[in-house]
Chains A and B, each alone.
Chain A
Amino acid sequence: MSSLADRLRAAGRGAARWETGLAIVVLAVIIGGSAASPQFLTGSNVFDMGLSNGEIAIMTLPMTLVVISGEIDLSVASMLGMSSALLGVLWSHGWPMPAIFVAVAALGLAAGALNGLLVTRLRLPSLAVTIGTLALYRGIATILLGPTTVANFPTAYTNLGVNGVPGTNGDVTYSTLIFVVLAIGFGVVLHATPFGRSIYAMGASAEAAQFAGIRVKRIKTVLYMISGLICALAGVLYTFRLNTSVENNGLGLELDVVAIVLLAGVSIFGGKGSMIGVVLAVLVFAGIQNALLLTNFNQEATGIVTGALLLASVFVPNAARWIRHLTRPRTQKA
């Protein structure tokens, strides 16, 4: 029986190539960012980076599991928005914060469960289902809040969004801390538990996994529920960071989340990818966005870079394969 460390090491080896490339890109971003602006590596900038990407980063973790299992969840940003809206509505109705957290978590789980049941029990394509729930959950957020904005959250909570974690010189945001802790947890579960291995198995072939005795439907439903729960958490963080609950919170973030996960080398067809890759891809994404911001690049247009990275993430491995194919000596002839 191999130890946990062994299995993690094996996972690291298996996924080494793409992650090595990403690590080099991370280094390049750090060097390029520092060259572009002396501010890049300062503590306060690291703080800003964590602040503006924290929720997106957190949402990439459950998305990774869902995509590796062979499905997709496009409703993540809407679940964030819906959670944020519920938080605002309940607070304006005078609920105590702990009760609100329970309600928001329950809503996230329920939203994820609906996604999961539609995908697994009704055998509907997840792409179509989660485009539907993207609209539905955003619609529920809009119904809950209407045109109102809730912004009078207690400072004890909103401070969490704008202050650093004590003991880090104030350079690390709470969302960054949560991301790191969750990433380690998700990484261990994905790479070193039977549950995690079964996610790869069903992503590679749902049918084979089914015959191997893996409860594909149940596990996929659980993954969607985890996604809902984590997005609810991201919704709470988002709300406190901006001290605002408004119906369009987090609108459109699902594309960023998917882009990061694909950039991480996770196959859109399922069965491939690693948590280390996702963490590196988050760093690449956050670093480039931030470097462009510091160099006064039009902030709204940073999507160009995200898009280019996405294209690179699909073409570079292909190009490598072509080159290998072309340079291979053709000794064997069938």
Chain B
Amino acid sequence: MRAVITSGRDPRPPGDSGGGSAGAGNLAERVFRIRESGILVVLVVFVAVTTLAQPRFLSEANIQFILVDTTVFALLALGETMVVISRNVDLSVGSVLGLSAYASSNLFGHHAGIPIPVVFLVGLAIGLVCGVANGVMVAAGRVPSLVVTLATLYIIRGIDILMFSGQQVVEAVLPNAFLAIPKSTVLGVPDLAIAVAAVIVVGDYYLRNYRSARELYAIGSNPEAARLAGIPVGRRIFTAFALSGAIAGIAGVLWAAQYGTIDSSAGTGYELQVVSAVVVGGVAIFGGSGSVVGAALGALLLGTITTALYVLGISPFWDQAIWGALLLLAITLDQTITERLTSALRQRRTRHV
């Protein structure tokens, strides 16, 4: 029934525009809005409660910290969302980020004066190659993405370790302009957060309005039906993986700028955090529904929680348990809404017939 939910994004069928009993599309659309705004409400309530307990939480420095800290995850979540919508998963993002972070920032040490955009391009290229590899294997090989990306998670991390283990890129070799990227602000808002927000808005527009993106939802709802409907399933899935890889590559360069010290373990375990953010953000793990904005909000919520616990003086040892509980809550809530919606739609349809 996931197809029904996503149809809320499509233009309403003509018959639904008026009349007392709103059509299925209308209802689905309303619930969908609730799903996304639900995360926003949780976020706002969480920030409000934390601020009441500790006003320091809303200080400019702290907000900047949260925003910058979230950017990398929000970016990764963007790519992951496209993959998950198509009923796949990309577990290799953490390893891709790690390889890109080291290989790209390492250039500064070996080629002093290399322009920063070139370094970003190198990161992008590394990510793209990894993403293309994933995409080819999943789309052309027709093997489960969970297995393929679990394998590339290991292989890419292994390559990273073989090439760079025992070495470190230290802050001293990185140019100041590069390290300043996460620090510069416009009217108190980090440039990086603005840039990532812009990317997310573009991604959201694309996923809502472009044919190729809508086909991703169709594939995720029912791969077999999508194939029969003439959708180039393989090509779409390939593109989603390639984009996810490319984005992880860029995120790697940003990670390097943010942390300054990079070794071959950068980004280890990020895959589960990214999948968590995406799922908390309301993207169905079995595809067919969800939005980039939701996923980004999920990443922001998780980042905010971590910082809030710190500000509230709650031991950071509680972070993970609260994260886990929240994730379980999010998927339970999501499932409940989906089931309610499904039965509501079924009732409406029978009434009309």
* Residues of B close to A128: CB separation below 8 A: 279, 285, 327, 331
Is B323 a contact of A303 with CB atoms below 8 Å? no
Given A139-B322, A258-B150, A314-B148, also A131-B279 (CB < 8 A): yes
Judged by a CB distance under 8 angstroms, whether B158 is at the interface is yes
Q: Pick the contact of B144: A134, A147, A268, A307 (CB < 8 A).
A: A268
- Chain B, range 140-160, C-beta contacts under 8 Å to A: 141-144, 146-148, 150-155, 157-159
- Asked if A143 and B161 make an inter-chain contact with CB atoms under 8 angstroms apart, the answer reads no
A156 within 8 A of B: no
Which residues on A sit within 8 Å (CB–CB) of B318? 139, 142-143
Using CB atoms, name the residue of chain B closest to A137. B324
| Contact stretch, chosen from B22-30, B269-277, B291-299 | B269-277
- In the complex, what distance in Å separates the CA atom of A310 from the CA atom of B158? 14
Inside 8 A of B186's CB, which chain A residues have their CB?
none
User: Contacts of B146 on A, CB cut-off 8 Å?
Assistant: 127, 268
Contact B151 A310 (CB under 8 A): yes
Contact of A303 among B155, B276, B320 (CB under 8 A): B155
**Closest-CB distance, A314 to chain B (whole angstroms):** 4
A200 to chain B: closest CB distance in Å? Answer: 19
What are 19 sample pairs from A and B whose C-beta atoms fall under 8 A apart?
A: A127-B89, A131-B327, A132-B324, A132-B331, A136-B328, A139-B317, A142-B319, A143-B321, A146-B317, A259-B150, A269-B144, A300-B165, A301-B159, A301-B162, A304-B158, A304-B162, A310-B147, A314-B143, A318-B143
> Are A315 and B158 in contact, CB atoms less than 8 angstroms apart?
no
Closest to A140 in B: B321
Complex Cα distance A306/B146, Å? 15
CA distance A146 to B155 in the complex (A): 33
**Which residues of B, 323-353, contact A by the 8 Å Cβ criterion?**
323-325, 327-328, 331-332, 335, 339
A326 to B268, CA, bound (A): 42
Are B328 and A129 in contact (CB-based, < 8 A)?
yes
* Contact, CB under 8 Å: B276 / A135: yes
- For A154, list chain B residues within 8 Å (CB): none
Say yes or no for A311: interface residue by CB 8 A criterion.
Answer: yes
Q: Does B315 contact A (CB under 8 A)?
A: yes
Contact A311 B151 (CB under 8 A): yes
Cβ–Cβ < 8 Å partners of B158 in chain A? 300-305, 307
Task: Indicate if A4 sits at the interface (CB-CB under 8 A).
Answer: no
Chain B interface secondary structure, helix, strand, loop or mixed? Answer: helix
In the complex, what residue of chain A is closest to B319 when comparing beta carbons? A139
Separation of A302 and B272 alpha carbons in the complex (Å): 21
Mark A residues whose CB is within 8 Å of B.
Answer: 118, 122-125, 127-129, 131-140, 142-143, 146-147, 247, 252, 255, 258-259, 262, 268-269, 298, 300-308, 310-311, 313-315, 318
User: Is B137's beta carbon under 8 Å from chain A?
Assistant: yes
CA gap between A311 and B143 in the complex, in Å: 9
Distance in Å from the Cβ of A307 to the closest Cβ of chain B? 3
Chain A residues whose C-beta falls within 8 Å of the C-beta of B285 in the assembled complex = 125, 127-128
List 5 A-B pairs, minimum CB-CB distance, nearest first.
A139-B321, A136-B324, A304-B158, A135-B324, A139-B320
**Chain B contacts of A132 at CB under 8 A?**
276, 324-325, 327-328, 331
Bound: A313/B322 CA distance, A: 37
Q: Is the CB of B143 within 8 A of A134?
A: no
Query: Which residue from chain A places its CB closest to the CB of B142 in the assembled complex?
Result: A318
Residues of A within 8 A of B327 (CB): 128, 131-132, 135-136
Given A268-B146, A304-B162, A311-B148: A139 in contact with B323 (beta carbons within 8 A):
yes
Most chain B CB within a 10 A radius of its CB, from A122, A147, A247: A122
Interface string of B50-73 (1 = CB under 8 A from A): 000000000000000000000000
A135 touches B148 (CB 8 A): no
Besides A118-B332, A125-B286, A128-B279, 9 new A-B residue pairs in contact (Cβ under 8 A), listed by A number:
A127-B89, A131-B276, A135-B327, A136-B328, A139-B323, A268-B147, A301-B162, A304-B155, A318-B141
Which of these, A135, A262, A314, contacts B141 with CB under 8 Å? Answer: A314
Closest to B161 in A: A301
Complex contact B320–A138 (CB within 8 A): yes
Asked whether, in the complex, the Cβ of B161 is within 8 Å of the Cβ of A298, the reply is yes
Complex contact A136–B321 (CB within 8 A):
yes
Residues of A within 8 A of B322 (CB): 139
Rounded to whole angstroms, the CA-CA distance of A269 and B323 in the bound complex is 28
* Chain A residue contacts of B150, Cβ below 8 A: 255, 258-259, 262, 307, 310
Report which of A123, A127, A301 forms a contact with B335, defined as CB distance below 8 A. A123
Q: How far is the CA of A149 from the CA of B335 in the complex (A)?
A: 39
Q: Is the CB of B148 within 8 A of A124?
A: no
The answer to whether A143 and B152 touch across the interface, beta carbons within 8 angstroms, is: no
- Chain B residue nearest in CB terms to A300: B161
User: How would residues 205 to 222 of chain B score, 1 for a CB under 8 Å from any chain A CB and 0 otherwise?
Assistant: 000000000000000000
A279 to chain B, nearest CB (A): 20
- Name A136's closest neighbour in chain B (CB-CB): B324
Convert B97-109 into 0s and 1s, putting 1 for each residue whose CB lies closer than 8 angstroms to a CB of A.
Answer: 0000000000000
Are the C-beta atoms of A142 and B141 separated by less than 8 Å? no
Give B145's nearest chain A residue, CB to CB: A268
Task: Return B88 CB to nearest CB of chain A, in Å.
Answer: 12
Q: Which of B141, B151, B318, B339 has the largest count of A CB atoms less than 10 A from its CB?
A: B151
Report the minimal beta-carbon distance from A173 to chain B, rounded to whole angstroms. Answer: 25
> What CA separation (Å) do A232 and B246 show in the bound complex?
40
The complex places the Cα of A252 from the Cα of B94 at a distance, in Å, of: 13
| Chain A: minimal CB distance from B136 (Å) | 12
A132-B328, A255-B150, A310-B150 are known contacts. Are A315 and B141 too (CB-CB below 8 A)? Answer: yes
A135-B321 contact given A259-B154, A302-B158, CB 8 Å threshold: yes
Q: Which residue of B lies closest to A310 (CB)?
A: B151
B289 to chain A, nearest CB (A): 13
A311→B324 contact, CB < 8 A = no
Report the bound CA distance from A136 to B150 in whole Å. 22
Chain A positions within 8 Å of B315 at CB level = 143, 146
Name the one of A122, A127, A142, A258 contacting B332, with C-beta atoms under 8 angstroms. Answer: A122
- In the bound complex, how far is the Cα of B144 from the Cα of A132, in angstroms? 22
